Chains A and B, each alone.
Chain A
Amino acid sequence: MVFDRRVTPARFPETVRVSLFIPCFVDHFFPQAGIAMVRVLERLGHEVDYPAGQTCCGQPAFNAGYWDQARPPASRLFRLFEDADAVVSASGSCGAMLKVFNPELFAGTSFEEEAADLAGRVWEFSDFLVSELGVEDVGARFPHRVTFHDGCHGLRELRIKSQPRRLLENVEGLELVEMAEAESCCGFGGTFAVKFSHISEAMAEVKCASALATGAEFIVSNDSSCLMQIGGWLGKNAKTPNPPRVMHLAEVLATQ
């Protein structure tokens, strides 16, 4: 069981200038997640900014162990988000890179301070809304049966457990059903999914069986990479005629 991170009370003004961090694969493959974040934040009255020139946070190289190769792309973000009040990430995993792993990656380098400084200004989307802005009802309506998958990096690196659920529970018409394996890894793990394809496949199978058992129409998560894995497995292996669809949390929250 993971419990939420300890939260210090929100320190933001009523209208926040939010700088979006859109990870590379969200930009190219799941733009709808980023678009939905913009819609929700603007609906709540905040000013949304998307600093130009974002590419990759460096996590692929970092996870592979090539930290020297991870630093150049990772350090670009310090400059890009230099003036940001709040950086909000569309992915718990890439958020964890900026918030948890960067300080270790840059420890003892000339970027040490910048890494720590940015880490203090980054939040994953649902955590930002609930923990920092104190918003739990975004005025969405989504009359469907939904189950939530905890992305591991969001769950265990950032300690985000109840935040997305509180948001979902306040969506009009939405029925949230917990799956038994909500906290089990979906088996994505970056290049692990390809390097150890069979193990990754077995993990996806367990995850999907648990999600299917809830009878949910939608599997929702705050990480598009997990959804690519879950959706990808269902797309190829689901036996039922109408398998559940995968959807980013922001997309659910953007509905009206």
Chain B
Amino acid sequence: MSKPAAAFQAAASAYVGERETRAFLRQSLAGYLAQRRTGEERFQDWEEARVAASAAKGEALDYLDRYLADFLTRIEKRGTRVFFARDAARARERVVEIVREHDAKCIVKSKSMTGEEIDLSETLEHLGYEVVETDLGEYIVQLRGERPFHIVAPAMHLRREEIRELFAGKIGPEAGRSAEPEALTMDARRAIRRKYLEADIGISGVNFAVAETGQICVCTNEGNGRLSTSLPRVHIAVMGLEKLVPNLDDLALLLPMLATAGTGQHLTGYTTIIGGPRQPGEADGPEEFHLIILDNGRTALLADDEQRDALHCIRCGACIYMCPIFKNIGGHSYGTTYMGPIGSVITPHLRGLEEWRHLPSSSSLCGACTETCPVRIDLHHHLLHNRRNAAAAHPAPLEKLALRAYGWLAGRPALFSLAGKLGKLALRAFSPLLGTALDPARGWTRCRALPEPPRQSFREWWKTHEPEPASERDDDDEE
């Protein structure tokens, strides 16, 4: 078992044991589920919208070379400085370079999962810079020294009272006087607002990049994206390669879908579209705008015909909310930037199949993720594909042998049947051991009873079965 796999098993088992925590998580999802339903009903046809959204993302990916070139030409023309980062290390280096060039001290950051993916805040903090997360949820988990629990709702695992205590302890005596959401929001706002004015650099993510106009789009609910990208002198945006869409019209479809699937809203509170740094004659905006486009395994996924649609992902987090595994193990157990079904599909591609093969395996393949995905990623089938790829590249010798033996047996019905009988006899023979440490079926019996083995198999019954004579059936019909 790989290190991440062992850590996953341990964290997941521990979380499962916390019944109240799990109940709280389910309860906090109830509001989303209700809003999500009414959100979908606002669309003339949600299913058709999914098809169209998937097609728009697919179009951009299929002709990425063309759309990317169009996008770059347009956004660079307005003075944006673009950098392509092959991997996380290069992206980090480039950010640090810019920060050093400007001799910056304080950096404000709006929520960015791509930033999380490359450990951006940690890197900068480690180098001694002050980094302030400006999204309320991100701010909370930053103060706790934690990673986001969910890609859209980073602090959904925390109760108000826990946040109040955190604020009182970390912000100062003026904060944390009340656990009311409004009061907590004001506490954070007072602390963060000052930082926008102090900050030399603002860092943001990118929700969409529009090829047609050469613009990026940032969605937030607190206006923090707009403040982070316009108040500081320098704006750095970190964007995954797959964020491109062909046209501005595509945003008209994708923005409400992102909001509906992500939070159950019509639209996120603030939608900011940026085409470059401050232009001559403009009153506001940063003097410099740097766009870092991150590959970090994405072009390899693009080359994978089977799983390419995983790059359609708009990071709405719906598959995570809907996942029964997530609901029972929480977001931190995964140990990844992207948790839940989408994480179990892409993490093996981004961080290595051998070490992360346990993620696609830790699924009952129920398909709730695929059903909910607004851009129709075939998520649960990709879990199967990842399992197949892992078995081919890094077979587990014992499992392979066992399955081969099983297949051999399945080719010999008489033997297969005999094995079934022996198995049932063994179950009876082992029954005193069931549930104990010596139980060979402990993985099952630890928490579940075994079915009572019947005396007769179906096959045995069939041999004795005489179909009802047709005449009797006719009688039945007349009754």
Contacts and interface: CB of A to CB of B under 8 A. Distances in A.
A64 B399 contact: yes
Interface string A181-193: 0011101111011
Interface in B413-447: 413, 416-417, 420-421, 423-424, 443-444, 446-447
Contact of A201 (B395, B447, B468): B447
Given A27-B420, A203-B328, A73 B473 contact: no
B368 A198 contact: no
Interface string B448-473: 11110110111111100101100001
A95 interface: no
Given A185-B324, A198-B12, A229-B448, A54 B363 contact: no
Interface in A68-100: 69-70, 72-73, 76
Contact of A35 (B384, B404, B458): B458
Contacts of A187: 324, 364
B335 interface: no
Interface in B110-166: none
B420 A72 contact: no
Contacts of B24: none
A232 B451 contact: yes
A48 B328 CA distance: 43
Given A202-B22, A202-B328, A22 B458 contact: yes
B215 interface: no
Contacts of A66: 388, 391, 395, 399-400, 403-404
Most buried by B among A48, A53, A153, A198: A198
Interface stretch (A38-46, A108-116, A171-179): A38-46
A32 B451 CA distance: 13
Given A28-B420, A63-B387, A232-B444, A70 B366 contact: no
Contacts of A34: 458, 461
Contacts, number: 207
Contact of B416 (A56, A62, A197): A56
A65 B410 contact: no
Nearest to A57: B410
Contacts of A62: 384
A61 interface: yes
Given A31-B461, A65-B388, A56 B410 contact: yes
Contacts of B421: 28
B370 A56 contact: no
B444 to A, nearest CB: 6
B456 A31 contact: yes
B22 A185 contact: no
A26 interface: yes
A232 B367 contact: no
A60 B406 contact: yes
Nearest to A34: B458
A233 B416 CA distance: 28
Contacts of B364: 152, 185, 187-190, 192-193, 200, 203
B371 to A, nearest CB: 6
B476 interface: yes
Most buried by A among B9, B400, B407: B407
Contacts of B467: 42, 47-48
Contacts of B408: 72
Given A35-B458, A192-B365, A235-B448, 8 more contacts: A31-B460, A52-B413, A60-B406, A73-B410, A76-B410, A192-B361, A195-B361, A202-B328
Nearest first, the 3 closest Cβ-Cβ pairs linking A and B are: A189-B364, A235-B449, A232-B448
Interface of B: 9, 12-13, 16-17, 22, 26, 324-325, 327-329, 361-368, 370-371, 384, 386-392, 395, 399-400, 403-404, 406-413, 416-417, 420-421, 423-424, 443-444, 446-451, 453-454, 456-462, 465, 467-468, 473, 476-477
13 contacts: A29-B454, A63-B365, A67-B388, A69-B404, A70-B403, A156-B366, A157-B367, A193-B444, A195-B361, A202-B329, A233-B448, A235-B449, A237-B447
